[in-house]
Amino acid sequence: MARNPRTPRWLEAARRRKEPVPEGSRADWLARALGRAGVMPRAEAEQAIREGRVEVDGRVEREPFAPVHAGTVVRVDGQPCALEAGTRVLLFHKPAGVVVAGSDPEGIGTVFERLRAVLSPELRGYEWYAVGRLDRDTTGLLLFTNEERMVAHATSPETHVPKRYVAEVEGEPSEEAVRKLREGLVLDDGPTRPAGARLLAPSRVELVLTEGRHHQVKRMLAAVGHPVRTLHREAVGEVSLDVPEGSYRFLTEAEVHEGLQFREIPSPSGRGSG
């Protein structure tokens, strides 16, 4: 029987095992919980579970989607693991050339590989989710988090978290072109929301968008006759890029709460280097 894509896999696993679904606490599934807590990335967790290296409440568990919740006792290789983990968000300065994907068919590399190369060993145990995407040739601010709810919040069309870009374009846009960007354009997938737009130099345009369609900045500028030559993201919400290319830092509690308008308290912050 085909699975219902709307039913969480941990809930399906619980139903197969005829286990009660806990109420009043956040239920999760084992492999993802281990990744969120920084024990090991999800793919490694799934392998460890299938190899019989993980115990849940005193018994070996071989189902990666086994449900867990507050109070579940988990051991990996005999060692107890705490599953409680606050939301961690880090800011990474993405270089050009790498893709925001799990693999790169062109062999240049992924942003996840670049990030893990500069993380400390204890941070490599987390499952890091990219908050949105940047094109291969786009540079600048890219957020990562261990919390999928943070991804949903920052990328939701209803949230309207602003993203600020600077584009070097072909030609010299007129004030009329900038006005059209501010008022919104009709693209092949429908009208855009009004955008913040201003000229920083004759061929340099700043755009602030509150939506995130595929290649939207490039398509908007091409629609007013000025194709993008280079594109750089400088800010998300009130959080601005302030680390060198290839480096990262953790966001502060205030940046997560006020800057991104996400209301779950993160773990203690720090700064990393690349």
pLDDT score, position 241? 98
Residue 163 CA to residue 209 CA, distance in Å, equals 5
Give the up-direction half-sphere exposure of residue 239: CA atoms within 13 A in the CB hemisphere.
Answer: 28
Q: Is 135 a catalytic residue?
A: yes
Q: How far apart are CA 118 and CA 246, in angstroms?
A: 8
pLDDT number for residue 69: 84
Q: Could you tell me the two tokens for 185?
A: 């354009």
- What pLDDT is attached to residue 84? 83
Which class in CATH covers the domain with range 9-81?
alpha beta
| pLDDT on residue 267 | 44
Domain extent listing, the chain: 9-81, 89-157+246-259, 163-236
Closest Cα partner for 67 from 78, 79, 83?
Answer: 83
Q: Say how many residues make up the chain.
A: 274
Q: What are phi and psi of 158, to 5 degrees?
A: -80, -20
Task: Give the fold, CATH level 3, of 89-157+246-259.
Answer: Alpha-Beta Plaits (3.30.70)
pLDDT of residue 15: 55
Tell me the CATH number for domain 163-236. Answer: 3.30.70.1560
- Bridge partners of residue 73, in order along the sequence: none
66-100 pLDDT tens trace: 999 878 999 999 999 999 888 999 999 999 999 99
Which segments of the chain have a pLDDT < 70? Answer: 1-27, 264-274
Active-site position among 57, 77, 135, 242: 135
Fold equal for 9-81 and 89-157+246-259: no
Q: Is 140 within 8 Å of 133 (Cβ atoms)?
A: no
Asked if 145 and 91 touch (Cβ cutoff 8 Å), the reply is no
